[in-house]
């Protein structure tokens, strides 16, 4: 948009309930109530914008993501989450427009991506963890506020003659509802196309009976009966949950990485930022001990269990890369450790999926790998003699845009598949990474999974698990050229290309959301009609000034 404002680097995407500024969490047995109470002066760049009317920025969403994560691990007793507001007559006004207007283009897109992942995390908690959700709209929900409601299982809107739901981005800002709003309206709530067209171009939104008739909300309830109606729905949804009875959770302890200018060190993850210009290296290390004997022993390990801590660390490292290191274009993926230990931990998890904590840890691994899939960096996996690309860690190589495996008889390398590669960690398209890779020959998936023991370099190449297998004489030159050639290509073209190629196979609501974000919203956020000097987003809030549009359709 011509505005290249730099957003200050975040120390971490971690937070804690004691540090929340914008949300109030109340726990009452099987029901948790999360109330939005955004502090106007509490934005990440408080000097640039005021978070009025429960509008939000990245900091608000970081807290929301933390809440959902903690409910999954720390509060297994919670079966229903009620999301509401402490503001009078306002649920949420959506993403703060002045924050968007003063942010760089890359930040805007990464903000939308993180917000989408947070909303999908709420939906995943319902589908995979039994935490159902209700959006209790005690006031108007606009833009991203309504998109948050759309991520919940049910939407209850107060009938006070004023409160409405709306997606005003198209008529007011010249952009799209950037966190999956249009997709969820028609794909999830199955709103009729003509009605969705009217709704999405009507800035004031829709309320009352029409909102119910058009499937935009599930109930409209008078103010006097609103609290009881929400409580009744919460009770009914709680009865549908399969979360455990009488269990206590674990504590998600801080990760406490050692952060330097050129490197971020965690217990199991190292992020090197100075490998070469625009190249970073991410190493994930395998477990340093055998898995526990059962779910109770896993719970005793708490947040220190490798199957939880390593993946939380990887998640944090990926988020740091996205927001704080935009200059990094290529990410080299490495692993290190004992492949047999990785496979032992995977086998333990696969054998104990009925335990609530095992289920949550597997779901976390799935979400972190999806985060990797959706990261706008070129991903190269390097398989070397000290690697442990096995089982769940083999998913990193399968997620890569290319993989290079050293073929050296004197220093053998290996990739080993295990039970978690058979579909327990699906991509956004609903397929495993192996299934996505083998679309042309689906019958080979079972054959590859049935392979006993590790694949050496030539076997991995023949099976289609890696792209290239240079020998020890060619390795250094081949990987160097690959990195240098990548760095010379337009990053915009690479982002579009990678996003197209990574999600072959069936389309899902999730792939639609991120595909449209990568293509449509990415493009619209750079168009003069939105962000030019006379664009709608640029001029928003300036009294008496109207945007000027280039009326040619493209």
Q: pLDDT tens digits for 444-460?
A: 999 999 999 999 999 99
**How many Å apart are CA 23 and CA 405, to the nearest integer?**
47
Domain check: are 148 and 201 in the same one?
yes
Residue with tokens 């490798």: 306
With residue 238 as reference, give the H or E element that holds it.
helix 223-238
* Cβ–Cβ under 8 Å, residues 219 and 229: yes
Determine what percent of the chain is predicted with pLDDT higher than 70: 98
**How many Å apart are CA 449 and CA 57, to the nearest integer?**
44
Write out the two tokens for 370. 């999806």
**pLDDT at residue 11, as a whole number:** 57
Q: Do the bridges between strand 89-92 and strand 31-36 make them parallel or antiparallel, or are there none, so unpaired? A: unpaired
Reduced to 3 states (helix: H, G, I; strand: E, B; else coil), residue 304 is helix
Span 411-416, mean pLDDT? 98
**553 band by pLDDT with thresholds 50, 70 and 90:** confident
Examine the pLDDT at 195 and tell me if it is beyond 70. Answer: yes
Write out the two tokens for 31. 């029901």
Query: Pseudo-torsion of CA 192, 198, 202, 205, nearest 10°?
Result: -30
Within a domain: 221: yes
**pLDDT at residue 78, as a whole number:** 98
Domain check: are 201 and 270 in the same one?
no
Within a domain: 324: yes
Q: Shortest CA distance to 140 belongs to which of 82, 208, 62?
A: 208
Span 74-85, mean pLDDT? 98
The radius of gyration of the chain's CA atoms, rounded to the nearest angstrom, is: 24
Query: Pseudo-torsion of CA 188, 191, 197, 200, nearest 10°?
Result: -60
Domain check: are 173 and 300 in the same one?
no
**How many Å apart are CA 68 and CA 131, to the nearest integer?**
9
Within a domain: 427: yes
Q: Shortest CA distance to 322 belongs to which of 75, 491, 27, 110?
A: 110
**9 band by pLDDT with thresholds 50, 70 and 90:** low
Q: Do the bridges between strand 31-36 and strand 23-28 make them parallel or antiparallel, or are there none, so unpaired? A: antiparallel
Return the number of other C-beta atoms located less than 10 Å from residue 181's C-beta.
22
**pLDDT at residue 178, as a whole number:** 83
Within a domain: 542: no
φ, ψ at 255 (rounded to 5°): -80, -30
End position of a domain, from candidates 238, 267, 289: 238
Query: Pseudo-torsion of CA 233, 238, 239, 242, nearest 10°?
Result: 150
Within a domain: 142: yes
Domain check: are 234 and 264 in the same one?
no
Give residue 348's domain range.
258-496
Residues 6+ apart with CB under 8 A from 218: 154, 155, 156, 212
Domain check: are 219 and 271 in the same one?
no
Domain check: are 267 and 228 in the same one?
no
Residues 6+ apart with CB under 8 A from 245: 77
Domain check: are 279 and 351 in the same one?
yes
Domain count, the chain: 2
For residue 269, give the CATH number of its domain: 3.90.226.10
**pLDDT at residue 5, as a whole number:** 43
Domain check: are 226 and 301 in the same one?
no
The region of weakest confidence among 360-369, 450-459, 527-536 is 527-536
**How many Å apart are CA 361 and CA 311, to the nearest integer?**
9
**pLDDT at residue 8, as a whole number:** 45
Span 100-122, mean pLDDT? 94
Interior CA angle at 307 toward 304 and 311, to 5°?
90
Domain check: are 54 and 155 in the same one?
yes
End position of a domain, from candidates 444, 475, 496: 496
Write out the two tokens for 491. 């990053």
Domain check: are 219 and 279 in the same one?
no
**pLDDT at residue 6, as a whole number:** 42
Domain check: are 450 and 348 in the same one?
yes
Determine what percent of the chain is predicted with pLDDT higher than 90: 92
Q: Shortest CA distance to 134 belongs to which of 149, 123, 119, 115?
A: 149
Span 409-436, mean pLDDT? 97
* Cβ–Cβ under 8 Å, residues 17 and 70: yes
Q: Do the bridges between strand 55-56 and strand 94-95 make them parallel or antiparallel, or are there none, so unpaired? A: parallel
Q: Shortest CA distance to 73 belongs to which of 219, 211, 248?
A: 248
Within a domain: 250: no
Domain check: are 398 and 434 in the same one?
yes
With residue 259 as reference, give the H or E element that holds it.
strand 258-259
DSSP state of 10: P
With residue 70 as reference, give the H or E element that holds it.
helix 58-74
C-alpha dihedral sign at 116, 122, 127, 133: negative
End position of a domain, from candidates 468, 496, 524: 496
**pLDDT at residue 2, as a whole number:** 39
**46 band by pLDDT with thresholds 50, 70 and 90:** confident
**How many Å apart are CA 552 and CA 519, to the nearest integer?**
19
Examine the pLDDT at 10 and tell me if it is beyond 70. Answer: no
Angle between the 105-129 and 509-516 helix axes, to the nearest 10 degrees?
Answer: 170
**How many Å apart are CA 140 and CA 55, to the nearest integer?**
12
Within a domain: 4: no
Within a domain: 341: yes
Q: What mean pLDDT value characterizes the chain? A: 95
pLDDT tens column, 24-44: 999 999 999 999 999 999 999
34: β partners? 25, 83
**554 band by pLDDT with thresholds 50, 70 and 90:** confident
**pLDDT at residue 275, as a whole number:** 81
Reduced to 3 states (helix: H, G, I; strand: E, B; else coil), residue 493 is helix
**pLDDT at residue 356, as a whole number:** 98
**pLDDT at residue 484, as a whole number:** 95
């Amino acid at each position: 948009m011509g505005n290249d404002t730099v957003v200050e680097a975040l120390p971490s995407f971690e937070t804690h309930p004691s540090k929340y500024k914008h949300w109030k969490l109340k726990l009452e047995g099987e029901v948790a109530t999360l109330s939005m109470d955004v502090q106007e002066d509490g934005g990440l760049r408080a000097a640039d914008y005021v978070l009025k009317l429960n509008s939000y920025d990245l900091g608000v969403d970081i807290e929301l993501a933390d809440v959902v994560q903690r409910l999954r691990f720390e509060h297994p007793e919670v079966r229903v989450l009620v999301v509401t507001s402490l503001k009078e007559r306002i649920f949420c006004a959506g993403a703060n427009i002045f924050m968007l207007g003063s942010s760089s283009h890359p930040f805007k897109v990464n903000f939308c991506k993180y917000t989408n992942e947070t909303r999908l995390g709420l939906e995943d908690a319902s589908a995979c963890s039994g935490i159902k959700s209700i959006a209790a709209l005690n006031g108007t929900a606009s833009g991203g506020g309504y998109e948050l409601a759309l991520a919940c299982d049910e939407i209850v809107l107060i009938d006070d003659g004023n409160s409405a739901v709306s997606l005003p981005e198209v008529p007011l800002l010249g952009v799209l509802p950037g966190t999956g709003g249009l997709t969820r309206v028609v794909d999830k709530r199955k709103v009729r196309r003509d009605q969705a067209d009217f709704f999405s171009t009507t800035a004031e939104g829709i309320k009352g009976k029409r909102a119910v008739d058009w499937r935009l909300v599930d109930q409209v309830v008078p103010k006097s009966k609103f609290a009881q109606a929400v409580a009744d729905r919460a009770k009914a949804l709680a009865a549908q949950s399969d979360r455990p009875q009488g269990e206590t959770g674990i504590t998600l302890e801080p990760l406490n990485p050692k952060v330097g200018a050129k490197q971020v060190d965690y217990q199991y993850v190292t992020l090197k930022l100075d490998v070469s210009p625009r190249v970073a290296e991410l190493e994930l290390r395998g477990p340093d001990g055998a898995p526990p004997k059962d779910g109770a022993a896993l719970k005793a390990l708490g947040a220190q269990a490798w199957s939880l801590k390593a993946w939380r660390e990887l998640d944090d490292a990926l988020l740091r890369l996205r927001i704080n290191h935009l200059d990094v274009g290529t990410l080299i993926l490495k692993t290190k450790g004992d492949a047999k230990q990785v496979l032992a931990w995977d086998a333990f998890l696969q054998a104990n999926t009925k335990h609530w904590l095992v289920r949550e840890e597997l779901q976390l691994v799935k979400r972190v790998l999806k985060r990797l899939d959706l990261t706008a960096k070129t991903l190269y996996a390097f398989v070397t003699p000290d690697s442990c690309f096995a089982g769940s860690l083999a998913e990193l190589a399968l997620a890569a845009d290319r993989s290079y495996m050293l073929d050296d008889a004197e220093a053998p390398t290996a990739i080993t598949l295990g039970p978690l590669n058979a579909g327990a960690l699906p991509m956004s398209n609903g397929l495993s990474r192996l299934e996505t890779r083998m679309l042309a020959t689906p019958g080979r998936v079972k054959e590859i999974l049935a392979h006993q023991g590790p694949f050496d370099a030539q076997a991995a190449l023949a099976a289609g698990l890696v792209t290239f297998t240079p020998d020890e004489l060619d390795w250094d030159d081949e990987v160097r050229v690959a990195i240098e050639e990548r760095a010379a290509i337009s990053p915009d073209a690479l982002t579009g290309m990678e996003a197209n190629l990574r999600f072959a196979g069936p389309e899902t609501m999730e792939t639609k959301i991120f595909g449209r974000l990568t293509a449509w919203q990415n493009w619209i956020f750079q168009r003069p009609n939105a962000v030019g000097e006379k664009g709608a987003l640029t001029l928003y809030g300036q009294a008496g000034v109207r945007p000027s549009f280039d009326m040619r359709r493209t």
